[in-house]
Structure 1
């Protein structure tokens, strides 16, 4: 039995190398493969990939894993037991007692997602909480969820929150779309112009979201640093 406060699930050093190693180790401990080798052909495999990715990204941030992932300790234990039973992770008593102190912003996004669930079981409620928590991080949402590209985020939302995903028919950035949906549901207007193409913030809502995943990018940076030759200079005295 593996304690969930040992290496892949505990906060370690905050330098970039350990961040990458911690994220990859967390993902691999849960799935048995590195993120780039994930098989997501079936919905069940895709769900496990998504959950492992979010937990890996949360572990890279340091601090208490449940808080970074948006779950209570008991929710984290239930998720691990249900979706990764073969790993045999036992959540420590300290983490079990953890309760999330969510702010209003997180709660609003979580409730928006909860109202739009399209799959059965507890995974929808876990994902709603996890997505809402990760949405307050500064990068593209797919990056802060630890996913490999934006397409995986679109698939995730279309699968588990289909009614909400269907409303994004213009392919707006998902984080921006969440806040626009919240405003519309409250009868408010977030935008300064009625037509998106006439708006000065068009690129903020619809701009490019491609690039490397957080783990791939940081892993590459670490490899480049370690491969760089060290040049010593003997200064005259």
Structure 2
């Protein structure tokens, strides 16, 4: 059995501590949730104010507050598909939603070492979403496409991926 703490949570929290994520204070969780996770993965919880990138983290938090509806929609989408048998599943949905608001590839904004590990995370935490992404669309684009198909106010740029001029940007390997 895969150790989700070592495989997913440790890299996320460690990357956050080193300023290598697009996450907000406490990785987008409550102080209690963050502290419990940090203790579980044996990383000391760090007060956001003590991080060298404190101003960037608080700025991200302020900007995120202006996109609260979008964040809630992403969280709801992920929550609807989460595997409740995984530890901290609801928290993972929140953390991924927050990271999805970043400007880079989702695996980078989340602090994962590579995209395949993010795909494995989706397989373990959101298996139905993983199965729906059967053409290996980049995860952030895939999530927004799912929100579009749910009838949200999100732009679906093409009625069919095959006719889209950005096809190569959505599918394939990331560098």
What's the TM-score bracket when you normalise by the shorter of the two chains?
0.7 to 0.9
Other-structure match for 2:34: 76
Structure 2: distance between partners of 1:142 and 1:89:
23
1:197 shift after superposition? 2.0
Shift of 1:137: 1.5
Structure 2 residue aligned with 1:151: 116
TM-score by length of 1: 0.58
CA contact (8 A) 1:116 1:161 kept: yes
Question: Aligned equivalents of 2:156 and 2:125: distance in 1?
Answer: 27
Corresponding residue for residue 25 of structure 1: none
Which residue matches 2:158? 193
Gaps of 5+ in 2: 51-60
**Match status 1:52 vs 2:10:** yes
- Alignment match of 1:107 (pick from 72, 76, 91): 72
- Greater relative contact order, per chain length (Cα 8 Å cut-off, separation 6+): 2
Corresponding position: 1:124 with 2:89: yes
With over 3 angstroms needed to count, the CA separation of the structure-2 counterparts of 1:202 and 1:104, relative to structure 1, is same
> 2:8 matched to 1:43?
no
Alignment match, 1:179: 144
In 2, Cα distance between equivalents of 1:174 and 1:56:
21
Offset at 1:190?
3.7
SS of alignment partner, residue 120 of structure 2 = helix
Cα 1:115–1:126 shift into 2, 3 Å: same
Aligned equivalents of 1:148 and 1:131: distance in 2? 15
Q: 1:73: Cα distance to partner?
A: 0.5
Change (3 A) 1:153 1:91: closer
Alpha-carbon separation, structure 2, partners of 1:138 and 1:155: 22
Q: Which runs of 5+ in 1 are unaligned?
A: 1-41, 211-237
Q: TM-score, normalised by structure 2?
A: 0.76
What displacement does 1:158 show? 0.8
Deviation at 1:68, TM superposition (A): 5.8
Partners of 1:74 and 1:55 lie apart in 2 by 14
Aligned residues: 158
Compute the displacement of 1:59 (Å). Answer: 2.3
Tell me, what secondary structure is at the counterpart of 1:181? helix
The answer to whether the Cα contact below 8 Å between 1:66 and 1:73 also exists between their aligned partners in 2 is no
| Structure 1 Cα separation of the partners of residues 110 and 169 of structure 2 | 19
Partners of 2:83 and 2:125 within 8 A in 1:
yes
For residues 88 and 56 of structure 1, the distance between their equivalents in structure 2, rounded to whole angstroms, comes to: 8
Q: Higher Cα Rg: structure 1 or 2?
A: 1
